Amino acid sequence: TLYCGIVGLPNVGKSTLFNALTQAAIAAENYPFCTIDPNVGVVPVPDPRLDALAAIVKPERVVPTAIEFVDIAGLVAGASKGEGLGNQFLAHIRETDAIAHVVRCFEDDDVIHVAGKIDPISDIEVINTELALADLGTVDKALQRATKASKAGNKDELAKKALFERVLAHLDSGKPVRTLPMADEEKALLRELHLITAKPTMYIANVREDGFGDDNVFLDRVRAYAGEEGSMVVPVCAAFEAEIAQLDEADKAEFLAGIGMEEPGLNRVIRAGYKLLRLATYFTAGVKEVRAWTIPVGATAPQSAGVIHTDFERGFIRAEVIAYEDFIAHRGEQGAKDAGKWRLEGKEYIMRDGDVVHFRFNV
Ligand code: GDP
């Protein structure tokens, strides 16, 4: 499974956010998620479409899909030189599929800031510099290998050498690899290096409860910085979310309604993570269970069937598909069929987000 690593300087609210995410998972007690590793949070993805489907199908149970967040604490300046537990943390980050970078945008004299003052851009740069230095080391080694291997004129190795030189120059100029324009073949060549700054990244601006507005200059600065590199910013108040996450579902709903919120801010973090990982959702809607399933954007019908069971992929025959909007508009499968919105799709079909599917397969 794909997962999102939470990084950031010490004392910015990573654990607070992570605990809120994990609490949200525990609170959803009907759902079959449990936490095995204390640093891994398997978090249900809030999706109002599930409730809309359930209102029509009236199943015995509703099962959301989930996303994993991993708390990668302990990244400090000097990590790329092996300071602290530097190498170990970098190794963990290398394994992630996307990065949620938490940035402190709240002032609180009771919470010590490692650099002595609140300066989100300098904080971001401390972390990003460590990540870039780690990548520089990786690319430098790879370039040496490719240079040696290309001596005899091997085309693939020459292509690698040229690419790695470009990547190195880009990193040297202080930019993350994710902002370097590359052809798909080049991206494929680079994949084996697991470069950290090539991973999709979002910034989670940890603001005060009242810090979401235009008057929060810290938030403004993070937005401007992220905008330059084309990354998302998700503002959230981690401490507040951690408190809400502890309430049971009924109290939570009442509390949120009382302050005029429809859902916890945490849901935005979860959805942003899902998007960052380039994941999409399809549904199965039977009387036993209405359920959301996660696939990578661009997955074919057989690959998507394989998420339910590998046998489904191997024995795939056809997928019966109704788009979510059609399913809702025509009040279910029969209605959608009558309206001509029911389709039979084959092996090549690329699934769309929201497809309501029934797979036909051989066992
Ligand atoms: P980490 O080191 O990045 O994991 O940071 P923690 O989650 O342990 O938070 C560090 C301190 O900041 C703790 O005392 C938290 O209670 C506090 N904190 C975290 N988020 C917020 C927030 O949104 N507002 C305020 N005022 N304090 C926060």
Tell me what ipTM this predicted complex has. 0.93
- Whether 59 maps to a domain, the answer reads no
Report the C-alpha gap between 50 and 328 in whole angstroms.
Answer: 11
92 and 9 in a common domain: yes
Q: How many domains does the chain have?
A: 3
Q: Residue 276 — very low, low, confident or very high, per pLDDT cuts 50/70/90?
A: very high
149 and 133 in a common domain: yes
Structure tokens at 97: 């599929």
On whether 16 is known to bind a ligand per the annotation, the reply is yes
Report the C-alpha gap between 93 and 357 in whole angstroms.
Answer: 35
| Residue with CA closest to ligand 1 atom 7 | 13
Q: In sequence order, which ranges of 296-332 are alpha helices (DSSP H)?
A: 301-308, 310-314, 324-329
Report the C-alpha gap between 193 and 190 in whole angstroms.
Answer: 6
- 108 ligand 1 Cβ < 6 A: yes
Closest ligand 1 atom to Cα of 206: 23
Strand partners, 98: 4
Q: Show the CA angle centred on residue 88, arms to residues 73 and 142, nearest 5°.
A: 125
Q: In which domain, by residue range, is 271 found?
A: 3-47+65-122+198-276
- Whether 56 maps to a domain, the answer reads no
Among 276, 306, 337, identify where a domain stops: 276
Among 142, 169, 197, identify where a domain stops: 197
- Whether 90 maps to a domain, the answer reads yes
- 132 ligand 1 Cβ < 6 A: no
113 and 232 in a common domain: yes
99 and 11 in a common domain: yes
169 and 307 in a common domain: no
Of all residues in the chain, the percent with pLDDT exceeding 90 is 71
- 16 ligand 1 Cβ < 6 A: yes
Distance 98 CA to ligand 1 centre (A): 22
- Is 42 in contact with 68 (CB distance < 8 Å)? yes
- 206 ligand 1 Cβ < 6 A: yes
83 and 15 in a common domain: yes
On whether 137 is known to bind a ligand per the annotation, the reply is no
Give the pLDDT of residue 289: 96
- Whether 223 maps to a domain, the answer reads yes
Q: What are phi and psi of 62, to 5 degrees?
A: -120, 125
Report the C-alpha gap between 299 and 57 in whole angstroms.
Answer: 26
- 239 ligand 1 Cβ < 6 A: yes
Instruction: Work out the average pLDDT over 18-29.
Output: 74
pLDDT single digits (tens) 47-56: 999 999 999 9
In sequence order, what DSSP letters do the residues of 158-205 get, joined into one string? Answer: HHHHHHHHHHHHHHHTT--GGGS---HHHHHHHHTT--GGGS-EEEEE
- 11 ligand 1 Cβ < 6 A: yes
240 and 154 in a common domain: no
- Whether 236 maps to a domain, the answer reads yes
Q: Which CATH number is 161's domain given?
A: 1.10.150.300
30 and 178 in a common domain: no
Give the pLDDT of residue 72: 85
Among 147, 172, 197, identify where a domain stops: 197
Closest ligand 1 atom to Cα of 242: 20
- 265 ligand 1 Cβ < 6 A: no
Task: Please say if the pLDDT value at position 176 is more than 70.
Answer: yes
Closest ligand 1 atom to Cα of 16: 7
- Whether 181 maps to a domain, the answer reads yes
Closest ligand 1 atom to Cα of 108: 26
Q: Which helix (H) or strand (E) holds 26?
A: helix 14-27
pLDDT single digits (tens) 116-163: 778 999 999 989 998 999 999 999 999 999 999 999 888 999 999 999
339 and 268 in a common domain: no
pLDDT single digits (tens) 338-362: 999 999 999 999 999 999 999 999 9
Backbone φ/ψ region at 84: left (φ over 0), alpha (ψ -120 to 50), beta: left
Instruction: Work out the average pLDDT over 177-193.
Output: 93
211 and 93 in a common domain: yes
Average of per-residue pLDDT values in the chain:
90
Report the C-alpha gap between 19 and 246 in whole angstroms.
Answer: 10
On whether 15 is known to bind a ligand per the annotation, the reply is yes
Q: Which CATH number is 232's domain given?
A: 3.40.50.300
